[in-house]
Amino acid sequence: MEKIVIKGQSREVVGKQVKVLRREGRLPCIVYGRGFKPVLITLNMREASRILPTITSSQLLVVEVDGKQHTTLVREKQRDPVTGMFLHVDFLEVSLTEKLRANVQIELVGDSPAVKNYNGVLVSSLEEIAVEALPSDLPERITIDISILTEIGQAVHVRDIVLPSVVEILDDPEEIIVVITAPAREEEEVAAEGTAFEPEVIERGKKEEEI
Protein backbone atom coordinates (compact mmCIF):
# COMPACT_ATOMS: atom_id res chain seq x y z
CA MET A 1 0.00 0.00 0.00
CA GLU A 2 1.41 3.38 -1.00
CA LYS A 3 2.31 5.66 1.90
CA ILE A 4 0.60 9.02 1.49
CA VAL A 5 1.90 11.91 3.59
CA ILE A 6 0.35 15.34 4.02
CA LYS A 7 2.07 18.08 6.03
CA GLY A 8 0.26 20.29 8.52
CA GLN A 9 0.94 23.05 11.02
CA SER A 10 -0.19 23.42 14.64
CA ARG A 11 -2.83 26.08 15.25
CA GLU A 12 -4.25 27.95 18.22
CA VAL A 13 -7.10 29.68 16.42
CA VAL A 14 -10.50 28.09 17.21
CA GLY A 15 -14.21 28.83 16.91
CA LYS A 16 -15.52 31.24 14.30
CA GLN A 17 -12.07 32.80 13.95
CA VAL A 18 -11.02 29.85 11.77
CA LYS A 19 -12.73 31.67 8.89
CA VAL A 20 -9.62 33.83 8.78
CA LEU A 21 -7.48 30.71 8.27
CA ARG A 22 -9.59 29.63 5.32
CA ARG A 23 -9.23 33.06 3.72
CA GLU A 24 -5.47 32.58 4.07
CA GLY A 25 -5.69 29.27 2.22
CA ARG A 26 -5.45 27.05 5.32
CA LEU A 27 -7.84 24.18 6.15
CA PRO A 28 -8.55 23.73 9.91
CA CYS A 29 -8.37 20.10 11.09
CA ILE A 30 -8.03 18.03 14.24
CA VAL A 31 -6.02 14.86 14.92
CA TYR A 32 -7.32 12.75 17.80
CA GLY A 33 -7.14 9.18 19.08
CA ARG A 34 -7.46 6.93 22.12
CA GLY A 35 -4.99 7.89 24.83
CA PHE A 36 -3.77 10.73 22.64
CA LYS A 37 -4.19 14.46 23.31
CA PRO A 38 -6.01 16.02 20.34
CA VAL A 39 -3.90 18.27 18.13
CA LEU A 40 -5.41 21.24 16.33
CA ILE A 41 -3.76 21.77 12.95
CA THR A 42 -4.15 23.36 9.56
CA LEU A 43 -3.38 21.96 6.12
CA ASN A 44 -2.62 23.79 2.92
CA MET A 45 -6.08 24.12 1.37
CA ARG A 46 -4.88 23.55 -2.20
CA GLU A 47 -2.90 20.43 -1.31
CA ALA A 48 -5.70 19.08 0.89
CA SER A 49 -8.30 19.66 -1.83
CA ARG A 50 -6.14 17.62 -4.20
CA ILE A 51 -5.35 14.71 -1.86
CA LEU A 52 -8.40 14.24 0.39
CA PRO A 53 -10.98 13.48 -2.34
CA THR A 54 -8.83 10.49 -3.37
CA ILE A 55 -8.63 9.04 0.17
CA THR A 56 -11.21 6.45 1.18
CA SER A 57 -12.51 6.01 4.74
CA SER A 58 -10.36 2.88 5.19
CA GLN A 59 -7.14 4.20 3.64
CA LEU A 60 -4.23 5.19 5.88
CA LEU A 61 -2.97 8.75 5.61
CA VAL A 62 0.13 10.03 7.40
CA VAL A 63 -0.31 13.56 8.77
CA GLU A 64 3.04 15.18 9.59
CA VAL A 65 2.94 18.00 12.14
CA ASP A 66 6.04 19.70 13.59
CA GLY A 67 8.24 16.83 12.48
CA LYS A 68 6.03 14.12 14.02
CA GLN A 69 4.11 11.68 11.84
CA HIS A 70 0.60 10.57 12.79
CA THR A 71 -0.83 7.50 11.05
CA THR A 72 -4.51 8.29 10.62
CA LEU A 73 -7.84 7.52 9.03
CA VAL A 74 -10.09 10.30 7.75
CA ARG A 75 -13.15 10.21 10.01
CA GLU A 76 -15.15 13.20 8.79
CA LYS A 77 -14.90 15.68 5.93
CA GLN A 78 -17.10 18.74 6.36
CA ARG A 79 -17.87 20.75 3.24
CA ASP A 80 -19.63 23.99 2.43
CA PRO A 81 -23.10 22.94 1.14
CA VAL A 82 -22.98 25.58 -1.62
CA THR A 83 -19.39 25.70 -2.87
CA GLY A 84 -18.32 22.17 -1.90
CA MET A 85 -15.12 23.61 -0.39
CA PHE A 86 -13.64 21.75 2.58
CA LEU A 87 -14.41 23.44 5.91
CA HIS A 88 -12.92 21.02 8.44
CA VAL A 89 -11.48 17.51 8.56
CA ASP A 90 -11.24 15.06 11.48
CA PHE A 91 -8.32 12.60 11.51
CA LEU A 92 -8.28 9.56 13.81
CA GLU A 93 -4.77 8.50 14.84
CA VAL A 94 -4.53 4.70 14.90
CA SER A 95 -2.18 2.11 16.37
CA LEU A 96 -0.77 -0.26 13.78
CA THR A 97 -0.83 -3.08 16.35
CA GLU A 98 -4.50 -2.80 17.38
CA LYS A 99 -7.51 -3.92 15.36
CA LEU A 100 -10.16 -1.34 14.58
CA ARG A 101 -13.49 -1.10 12.84
CA ALA A 102 -13.84 0.85 9.62
CA ASN A 103 -16.17 1.24 6.67
CA VAL A 104 -14.73 0.17 3.32
CA GLN A 105 -16.03 1.83 0.17
CA ILE A 106 -17.71 -0.36 -2.46
CA GLU A 107 -16.79 0.28 -6.09
CA LEU A 108 -18.92 -1.21 -8.89
CA VAL A 109 -17.09 -2.04 -12.11
CA GLY A 110 -18.10 -3.56 -15.43
CA ASP A 111 -21.47 -3.67 -17.20
CA SER A 112 -24.43 -5.87 -16.35
CA PRO A 113 -25.82 -7.89 -19.30
CA ALA A 114 -29.23 -7.79 -17.60
CA VAL A 115 -29.30 -4.01 -17.95
CA LYS A 116 -28.27 -4.13 -21.60
CA ASN A 117 -30.29 -7.13 -22.75
CA TYR A 118 -33.43 -6.95 -20.60
CA ASN A 119 -33.65 -3.24 -19.76
CA GLY A 120 -33.05 -4.13 -16.11
CA VAL A 121 -32.49 -1.44 -13.49
CA LEU A 122 -29.33 -1.57 -11.39
CA VAL A 123 -30.14 -0.70 -7.75
CA SER A 124 -27.27 -0.19 -5.31
CA SER A 125 -28.32 -0.39 -1.65
CA LEU A 126 -24.91 -0.47 0.06
CA GLU A 127 -22.03 1.90 -0.59
CA GLU A 128 -19.78 0.72 2.26
CA ILE A 129 -19.05 -2.49 4.17
CA ALA A 130 -18.13 -2.51 7.87
CA VAL A 131 -15.00 -4.56 8.66
CA GLU A 132 -12.54 -5.14 11.49
CA ALA A 133 -8.79 -5.56 10.98
CA LEU A 134 -5.39 -4.14 11.77
CA PRO A 135 -5.03 -0.71 10.11
CA SER A 136 -2.39 -1.99 7.68
CA ASP A 137 -4.71 -4.83 6.58
CA LEU A 138 -7.71 -2.63 5.79
CA PRO A 139 -8.64 -2.75 2.09
CA GLU A 140 -8.84 0.70 0.52
CA ARG A 141 -11.99 -0.33 -1.35
CA ILE A 142 -13.99 -3.41 -2.32
CA THR A 143 -14.47 -3.90 -6.06
CA ILE A 144 -17.56 -5.72 -7.32
CA ASP A 145 -17.83 -6.77 -10.96
CA ILE A 146 -21.48 -6.39 -11.96
CA SER A 147 -20.92 -8.20 -15.28
CA ILE A 148 -21.92 -11.37 -13.39
CA LEU A 149 -25.49 -10.04 -13.14
CA THR A 150 -27.01 -11.51 -16.29
CA GLU A 151 -30.69 -11.88 -15.32
CA ILE A 152 -33.46 -9.80 -13.73
CA GLY A 153 -33.55 -10.46 -9.98
CA GLN A 154 -29.90 -11.44 -9.62
CA ALA A 155 -28.02 -9.75 -6.78
CA VAL A 156 -24.70 -9.54 -5.00
CA HIS A 157 -24.90 -10.08 -1.24
CA VAL A 158 -22.43 -9.32 1.53
CA ARG A 159 -21.77 -13.07 1.76
CA ASP A 160 -20.39 -13.00 -1.81
CA ILE A 161 -17.49 -10.71 -0.87
CA VAL A 162 -14.15 -12.49 -0.55
CA LEU A 163 -11.51 -10.78 1.60
CA PRO A 164 -8.27 -11.99 3.22
CA SER A 165 -8.81 -14.01 6.41
CA VAL A 166 -7.25 -11.21 8.48
CA VAL A 167 -10.22 -8.98 7.61
CA GLU A 168 -13.53 -9.71 9.33
CA ILE A 169 -16.75 -8.51 7.68
CA LEU A 170 -19.22 -7.20 10.27
CA ASP A 171 -22.31 -6.62 8.13
CA ASP A 172 -25.19 -9.12 7.77
CA PRO A 173 -24.12 -11.75 5.17
CA GLU A 174 -27.64 -11.75 3.70
CA GLU A 175 -27.73 -8.00 3.08
CA ILE A 176 -27.97 -7.03 -0.60
CA ILE A 177 -25.26 -4.81 -2.04
CA VAL A 178 -26.58 -4.47 -5.57
CA VAL A 179 -29.54 -6.03 -7.38
CA ILE A 180 -31.07 -6.00 -10.88
CA THR A 181 -34.75 -5.08 -10.74
CA ALA A 182 -37.42 -5.25 -13.43
CA PRO A 183 -38.05 -2.40 -15.91
CA ALA A 184 -40.22 0.62 -15.09
CA ARG A 185 -43.70 -0.97 -15.30
CA GLU A 186 -42.81 -3.73 -12.87
CA GLU A 187 -41.09 -1.21 -10.59
CA GLU A 188 -44.27 0.86 -10.38
CA GLU A 189 -46.23 -2.20 -9.29
CA VAL A 190 -43.67 -2.93 -6.56
CA ALA A 191 -43.75 0.70 -5.39
CA ALA A 192 -47.53 0.49 -5.08
CA GLU A 193 -47.05 -2.30 -2.56
CA GLY A 194 -44.91 -0.04 -0.38
CA THR A 195 -41.35 -0.98 -1.34
CA ALA A 196 -38.94 1.90 -1.77
CA PHE A 197 -35.27 2.73 -1.56
CA GLU A 198 -33.94 5.87 0.10
CA PRO A 199 -30.64 7.57 -0.79
CA GLU A 200 -27.84 7.61 1.78
CA VAL A 201 -26.06 10.81 2.76
CA ILE A 202 -22.30 10.34 2.46
CA GLU A 203 -20.94 13.77 3.35
CA ARG A 204 -22.62 16.61 5.18
CA GLY A 205 -22.05 20.29 4.63
CA LYS A 206 -21.47 22.50 7.68
CA LYS A 207 -21.98 26.24 7.86
CA GLU A 208 -20.12 27.07 11.07
CA GLU A 209 -16.86 25.76 12.50
CA GLU A 210 -17.14 24.20 15.96
CA ILE A 211 -13.56 23.14 16.68
Other Cβ atoms closer than 10 A to 48: 20
181: closest CA among 140, 153, 146, 142? 153
Domain count across the chain: 2
88 and 108 housed in the same domain: no
Residue 121's domain spans which residues? 100-192
Residue 133: give its domain's CATH number: 2.170.120.20
The confidence score (pLDDT) of residue 199 equals 45
State how beta strands 36-44 and 5-10 pair: antiparallel
User: Is residue 29 in some structural domain?
Assistant: yes
120 and 173 housed in the same domain: yes
Mean pLDDT by 10 residues, the chain (211 residues): 88 89 96 91 97 95 94 95 95 95 96 94 96 96 97 97 97 97 68 52 45 59
Written as one letter, the residue type at 51 is: I
User: Is residue 202 in some structural domain?
Assistant: no
The confidence score (pLDDT) of residue 194 equals 55
Residue 74 dihedral angles phi and psi, to the nearest 5°: -80, 120
123 and 188 housed in the same domain: yes
User: Is residue 204 in some structural domain?
Assistant: no
